[in-house]
Amino acid sequence: MTTESRHITVSGIKVEIVRKDIKNLHLGVYPPHGRVRVAAPLVVSDEAVRLAVIDKLAWIKRQQTQFADQPRQSQREMVNGESHYFLGGRYRLRVHEQDSPPRVALHGIAYAPHVGWSGGVCSAASVHLAAAAESFLTFECMVFDNPLRQELTTPVYGDVAGLKDGMLDVPTAPGLGVRLKPGALERFAIAE
């Protein structure tokens, strides 16, 4: 099936139009933020789609309000019996206190974090978690130049210079083992 996708704006709402070899127009509002998508027959014009969206504008706004008002997952407390969701499944947390280094066990699930364009903070946090995970498989990270790594933290963490025989050492300084460079965040600030 051939599909073609584009966007229009109707009354300030961004609408994705996906054209398909179908007979009827389908309008949907999708969680979590109320994204609007119209699946339209190939022969239906943008103007006809726009009119259909205008006709359903009140319904679209009600759906988006319902999504905005939905309760979000509460702050995790990491206590015994707490529910956590991972890969679509619900898992109950079991906390075992013991006199040994902390570890994370994902029973029967291989854990392989992937750090792409993330900075040193994410890399350091992921390496700490991987080091504590019983089912750790491999740690993947991109080692090309990345300003979020080179310019944001000290020491620089997660770049090719830090690799020793393809391995990264777990940072040992307090906290995650990296600090934000003073003044570095201003360059990456996003205006609202």
Three-state SS at 165: coil
Instruction: Give the chain's domain count.
Output: 2
Query: What is the percent of the chain with per-residue pLDDT over 70, rounded to a whole number?
Result: 87
Give tens-digit pLDDT for 132-167: 777 777 777 776 677 777 778 877 776 667 777 877
- Mean pLDDT, to the nearest integer, of 98-111? 70
d(CA 178, CA 170): 11
In a domain, 176, yes or no: yes
Task: Specify whether 113 is located in the same domain as 181.
Answer: yes
Task: Specify whether 22 is located in the same domain as 63.
Answer: yes
- Is pLDDT above 70 for 102? no
DSSP state, residue 136: B
Output the pLDDT for position 52: 95
Range of the domain at 39: 4-69
Give tens-digit pLDDT for 2-28: 667 889 999 999 999 999 999 999 999
Structure tokens at 142: 């991109």
Give the angle 148-135-101 at the CA atoms, nearest 5°: 80
Query: What is the percent of the chain with per-residue pLDDT over 90, rounded to a whole number?
Result: 29
Task: Specify whether 53 is located in the same domain as 118.
Answer: no
d(CA 76, CA 70): 18
